[in-house]
Amino acid sequence: MFFKIGTDLGIDLGTATVLVYVKGKGVILKEPSVVAIDRNNNRVLAVGEEARQMIGRTPGNIVAIRPLKDGVISDYDITEKMLKHFIKKACGNRRMSAPSVVVCVPCEATEVEKRAVRDAAINARAKKVFLIEEPLAAAIGAGLDITKASGNMVIDIGGGTTDVAIISLGGMVVRSSIKVAGNTFDEAITKYIRKKHKLMIGERTSEDLKVNIGTAYKREEEVFMEIRGRDLITGLPKNLTVSSTEMEEALREAVYAIAECAHSVLERTPPELAADIADKGIVMTGGGSLLNGLDKLIEEVTKVPVSIADDSVSCVALGTGKVLDFLDKLDDAYKSDDISLID
């Protein structure tokens, strides 16, 4: 089977961000998975970064929607429109045949959820759709050799889910997925600021706090950030200085949930593979892995060395992209099911 360079796509369909890999070119598109809709006529007004800028700033008839929740499709029609927009943007305006697409899904997605992703991609004018589970794609994208009889452990922290898996011989031996990830961090910060300081802040402000001073482990040197929100008592705008110590307190429950998930996966790992992982360590991928100190916390809980993959945000997209090189070698049985072994 022959695939023309630049026509096949690998898509990391994330709760927070969509990344698109074009065969022969690499990751060429990274935009928020947000769609702005006019409720009066159900027309799409903006997709991606342009739609994200509208969050919290739209009139009543316009709503900015995140059509994916916890790693799976929550609004099918909007997801289809979003995919169609990104596929068209990635392929450009030139005329070409419909692309073959590899899309990632959470490792514990149900058959119904997988079918929804596949159907949405097909209706977005993809010629063929292959699904690959996120930990496998993340491991491939991080440069791990998953084809050997040796254990690799990956923790992929996205926007909606955290997937933890032990991988050997191209398949997942032990796996777990929890709906605690980057978006959970944002929500925890928002709730903490509201409860402790009686200040209402927006989604973008909580994300800025997470990125700039958020921490899962006590920092050697405390850092501060000034934010602005609405005082819940007076109803007026108010400035507030927040410390990294407060961020550690706000995020404690969420980050420990991820660390305990990793611990439980290790507890269920066969001894031989556990020995491999003790030697190699754990590899973290996804945007959530960049939270300051999260690698140290997981290392403390699991007693296993932890490292963050290079270009961790793009690992899943890069993994789906590498799979594109093997589409012509896949057995027919995999063409309607998940890719679980890359030869």
Residue 110 lies in a domain: yes
CATH value at residue 207:
3.90.640.10
193, two tokens: 């600021």
pTM beyond 0.75, yes or no: yes
Within a domain: 2 = no
Question: CB of 97 within 8 A of CB of 119?
Answer: no
Number of structural domains found in the chain: 3
| Bridge partners, residue 283, by sequence | 154, 307
Tell me, yes or no, whether 155 and 86 share the same domain: no
pLDDT of 337: 45
| Mean pLDDT, the chain, whole residue set | 88
- Give a yes or no: residue 330 inside a domain: yes
Residue range of the domain that includes 228: 182-250
Same domain, 173 and 300: yes
Task: Dump the DSSP string for 71-133.
Answer: TEES-HHHHHHHHHHHHHHHH-SS--PPPEEEEEE-TT--HHHHHHHHHHHHHTT-SEEEEEE
Residue 243 pLDDT exceeds 80:
yes
Average pLDDT for residues 210-226, to the nearest whole number? 94
Strand partners, 193: none
Among 250, 274, 297, the domain boundary falls at 250
Higher pLDDT, residue 189 or 93: 189
- Say how far apart CA 236 and CA 16 lie, in whole Å: 30
Q: Where are the alpha helices (DSSP H) in the chain?
A: 49-52, 76-91, 111-123, 134-141, 182-197, 203-213, 244-267, 271-280, 294-302, 315-323
Could you tell me if 46 and 91 lie in one domain? yes
Reported as a pLDDT band with limits 50, 70 and 90, residue 157 is: very high
pLDDT of the residue at 335: 43
Same domain (yes/no): 75, 165: no
Amino acid in the structure at residue 8: D
Question: Would you state the pLDDT for residue 334?
Answer: 43
Q: Can you give the pLDDT at residue 3?
A: 36
CATH number at residue 150: 3.30.420.40
**Is residue 3 domain-resident?**
no
Out of 250, 285, 302, a domain closes at 250
154: in domain: yes
76 burial via Cβ count (<10 Å: 0-12, 13-18, 19+): middle
Question: What is the structure's pLDDT at 96?
Answer: 59
Q: What does residue 247 show for φ and ψ, rounded to 5 degrees?
A: -65, -40
Q: pLDDT value at position 5? A: 42
Residue 273 lies in a domain: yes
Quick check: is 4 in a domain?
no
State residue 72's pLDDT score. 83
pLDDT tens, position by position, 300-331? 999 999 999 999 999 999 999 888 887 665 43
Does one domain contain both 20 and 105?
Answer: yes
- Do residues 168 and 281 share a domain? yes
pLDDT tens-digit profile of 263-292? 999 999 999 999 999 999 999 999 999 999
Judge if 171 and 261 occupy the same domain: yes
Q: Tell whether the model's pLDDT for residue 339 goes beyond 60.
A: no
Q: Please list the residues that pair with 38 across neighbouring strands.
A: 43, 62
Whether 296 has a pLDDT exceeding 80, the answer reads yes
Buried b (16+ CB within 10 A) or exposed e, 36-69: bbeeeeeebebbbeebbebbeebeeebebbbbbe
The per-residue pLDDT for 283 is: 97
Q: Is pLDDT at 2 greater than 60 in this prediction? A: no
Regarding whether 126 and 18 lie in a shared domain, the answer is yes
158 and 260 in a common domain: yes
Clarify whether residues 75 and 221 are in a common domain: no
Element housing 68 (H / E): strand 68-69
The fraction of the chain above a pLDDT of 70, given in percent, is 92
Q: Are residues 285 and 163 in the same domain?
A: yes
Q: Span 92-113, mean pLDDT? A: 80
Per-residue pLDDT of 29-85, as tens digits, reads 899 999 999 888 888 889 988 888 887 777 878 888 889 888 788 888 899 889 888
Residues 194 and 319 in one domain: no
Question: What is the rounded CA–CA span in Å between residue 198 and residue 335?
Answer: 53
Instruction: Identify the domain boundary among 232, 250, 268.
Output: 250
Distance CA 115, CA 128 (A): 13
